[in-house]
Amino acid sequence: MSSISVSVVIPAYNAERYLPQTIASVVAQTHENWELLVADDCSTDGTRRVVAQHTADDARIRLIALAQNGGPAMARQAALSAARGRFIAFLDADDLWLPEKLRRQLAFMQSTGAAFSCTAFRRISADGCRVGRVVRVPPRLTYGQLLGNTAVATSTAILDRQLTGPFRMTKTYYDDFALWLEITRRGFPVSGLNEDLMRYRVVAGSVSRSKARSAAMVWRTYREVERLGLLRSSWSFARYAVNAVRKYRTF
């Protein structure tokens, strides 16, 4: 297991407040063969200073400084283009990993042969004081099933590039969801590890917090990215909405 190389991808924009805790949760991983690529999307706060402080302490941490603001998809792509690891682990700049996250999930992928996996997690309040219930994941999601499911939290996802082949981010609102769909469409289903290994921080004003806008962008993903017909889009959206309500019915 110690020989498995992981590239951790963090897109960051004005992330100074929470990024130190996020980086610390990577440094604390019991699986130590990782590199952390923080792609700063032209932040106007001290994000780059925070990353620079950590790069001075740990050579595994690298800053990818974008020349112009392009949004999360382009920030993730910049980090992906520089990534050297076989496995790509996604992490948002305000979320946290538990120390066993990489070790447990990589062992799961190795034992099952999974190319794409995600894990259970809990939400936390912005200040970290409130911790929610465990949000569990299905054991397996194919492309068709994923179209109608909200199960994959970005900060729990890991992809094995040796199995999936190369991939790129799509410049769209839900670039992560679009990538999950692409990988499953290639024939690599999501394997769910039902262990609580991530903390999803609920921050007011974050990109994912507007439910109405999120719903609209899911619909656009069906129609404009996946090119689904009206009937399949409607059926998938209805299932997605039901699963979203179940997922968010309690904290």
CA distance 175 to 166: 16
Residue 247 placed within a domain: no
| Prediction pTM value | 0.94
Count of positions (residues) in the chain = 251
Residue 238 domain-assigned? Answer: no
Counted domains in the chain: 1
pLDDT at 174 over 80: yes
Supply the pLDDT for residue 3.
86
- pLDDT, one tens digit per residue, over 204-234 is 765 455 678 889 999 999 999 999 999 999 9
Cα–Cα dist 176/235, whole Å: 21
Supply the pLDDT for residue 209. 54
For residue 212, tell me if it sits in a domain.
no
Q: State mean pLDDT over 80-92.
A: 98
Residue 251 located in a structural domain: no
Residue 41 lies in a domain: yes
Alpha-carbon span 228 to 247, nearest angstrom: 25
Domain of 39, in residue numbers: 6-203
pLDDT at 63: 97
Q: Residue 194 is part of a domain; what is its CATH number? A: 3.90.550.10
- Could you tell me if residue 157 is inside a domain? yes
Residue 28 included in any domain: yes
49 lies in some domain: yes
3-state class (DSSP) for residue 125: strand
